[in-house]
Each structure stands twice: as C-alpha cells, then as structure tokens.
C-alpha cells in the first residue's frame, strides 16, 4: 500500500500560492488580466476567496508576482546563452535558437507579458517596464565583453542592449502567436531575428562613443 504524501504547512502554502498564480495566468489568456476578479481566480484555483488573502493582498499583487515569474524565465534564457560554449563564437545564431525554444516552452508567460505590457493595469504595465529595463541592464553586462564594444560608454552599451531586447520582445510575441506544429513559421522567425541582429552587430565596429 502506498503511503499518502504528507506536505508540510509551508509546502501546502506554496502549492496554494502557485495554484492561484496558475489560475490567474490561465484566465488572463481568456479575457485579459485587468478583467479578472478575485472570485474567478479563487474558483479556478479551487480555494475559497478568503484563503486568497493568506497569499496575496490584491489582484494587483498577483499581477506583480506573475510579472516577476515571467522575467525569471527571460533571465534563465540569458543564463542559458552564457553557459553555451558556442554562444560567443556565434552569438546571433545561438540567441535566435534559444529565443524560439524558450518561448515555445513558456508560451503562457510570454503571452502574459505581450498582452499586459500594452493593455494591462497601470501597476502591471509599470512592473513590466521596470523588468524590461533591468533585463536591458543585465544583457548590457553580457554584450560589454564582445569585440568592438569594450571601449564604449555604459550608455552606448545599454543602447545596443536595448536594440537587442526590443527585437527579442517583438520576435517572442510572434512565437507566442505562431500556430502549433508549424516548424516553417518558427524557422522564418529565427531567420528574421538573425538578420536583424546581424544588422545591429554590423554597426558595432563603426560606432564611436
């Protein structure tokens, strides 16, 4: 006979918190996060509304937690790129491959960012903007090691990182909306992303801070 798994109080609390986040993420894909009510999310998560307040103070609090989760995925993508021994030998091809693979694996998270950065509540949109700026800063640290950039000002390195991030966000949104099973569409997105990134990199050698 298999003994039932007994969770600690902390494990139960974290499981319920994750259930709330998953419910909010799923429901936001159906009607937009700003339209969600606490009761809808509690019902989908399988809890009573009063239990919601043991984990979050408001729906805005849930939105901020979802933004944080989404950008943890983006940071993991950058860490994957840095761990890849071939990344700096061919950073553009590696970036395009990693971008499409990670977005496909996390479509709900990237879809949330794509929707809410333009039409979400003020607090969620501002949180996404802050995270994008932080993401640009982290990417700038990586780019600063590349040839032709080591003598640039920090402002110019951030500018280059911003160009890459805007390209990545745009192409990530295309992956989110791409039909499942369409390898040809994914390859076209990667091809366009590579071309655009190469165009950015071509300017590195000639640019003077």
Please report the pLDDT score of residue 83 as a whole number.
63
Domains of the chain: 1-56 (1.10.10.60), 59-202 (1.10.357.10)
Full-model pTM: 0.80
Given a cut of 60, is residue 5 above it in pLDDT?
no
Q: Where are the alpha helices (DSSP H) in the chain?
A: 9-31, 38-45, 49-52, 59-83, 91-105, 107-119, 122-143, 154-177, 183-202
Neighbouring C-alpha atoms within 13 Å toward the C-beta of 181: 0
Q: What is the pLDDT of residues 7-51, one digit of tens each?
A: 687 888 889 999 999 999 999 988 888 889 999 999 999 999 999
**Residue entry with tokens 């700096």:** 88
């Amino acid at each position: 006979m298999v003994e039932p798994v007994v969770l600690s109080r902390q494990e139960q609390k974290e499981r319920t918190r994750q259930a709330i986040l998953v419910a909010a993420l799923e429901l936001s894909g159906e009607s937009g996060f700003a339209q969600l009510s606490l009761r809808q999310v509690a019902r989908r998560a399988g809890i009573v509304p009063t239990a919601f307040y043991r984990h979050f103070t408001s729906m805005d609090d849930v939105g901020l937690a979802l933004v944080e989760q989404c950008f943890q995925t983006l940071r993991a993508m950058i860490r994957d790129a840095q761990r890849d021994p071939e990344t700096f030998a061919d950073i553009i091809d590696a970036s395009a491959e990693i971008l499409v693979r990670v977005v496909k694996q996390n479509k709900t998270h990237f879809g949330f960012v794509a929707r809410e950065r333009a039409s979400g509540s003020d607090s969620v949109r501002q949180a996404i903007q802050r995270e994008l700026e932080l993401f640009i800063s982290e990417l700038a640290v990586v780019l600063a090691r590349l040839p032709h950039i080591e003598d640039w000002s920090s402002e110019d390195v951030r500018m280059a990182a911003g160009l890459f991030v805007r390209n990545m966000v745009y192409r990530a949104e295309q992956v989110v909306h791409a039909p499942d099973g369409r390898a040809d569409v994914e390859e076209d997105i990667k091809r366009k992303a590579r071309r655009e990134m190469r165009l950015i990199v071509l300017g590195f050698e000639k640019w003077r801070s």
